[in-house]
Amino acid sequence: MSEPSPLNRSFHDMRGLITGREALRKYPSPAFFMRPSASQSLDEVRAVLIRNADEAERLVGMLRSWTRFEKKAPIMQTANKLHDFRVSLQIHSGEAGRPYLWEE
């Protein structure tokens, strides 16, 4: 099975929601990150997870580079966004008897 078409799906743009069709008109080469669907094969769902994890890994380097900012506000905003992202995953991490607990 091939990847589903992004044309009629909604995506988060910098200014709000945009359809895939609108994105293709607006941008020369958009990269669509779609959710997996139950109709996809196990290997296709794995490929979606790998692609999304690779993108998250790329973003970590970019976020770390923001420590060079000379103002505290953008660094705090970025740290809080990353914190909220981690909390939203609802994944418990740490070690046996020593969980990592993230503030709400």
Range of the domain at 76: 49-92
User: For residues 50 and 24, what is the distance between their CA atoms, to the nearest angstrom?
Assistant: 24
pLDDT digits (tens, 9 = 90+) for 66-102: 899 999 999 999 899 888 887 777 666 666 667 666 6
Question: How wide is the angle at C-alpha 37 spanned by C-alphas 58 and 62, nearest 5°?
Answer: 10
pTM of model > 0.75: no
User: Is residue 41 in a domain?
Assistant: no
Tens of pLDDT, residues 22-59: 999 999 888 888 889 899 999 999 998 998 888 888 88
In a domain, 30, yes or no: yes
What is the reported pLDDT for 44? 92
Which residues, other chains included, contact 100 with Cβ-Cβ below 8 Å and sequence gap of 6+? 92, 93, 94
The number of distinct structural domains making up the chain is 2
| 44 Rama sector, left if φ>0, alpha if ψ -120 to 50, beta otherwise | alpha
- What phi and psi values does residue 100 have, to the nearest 5 degrees? -90, 120
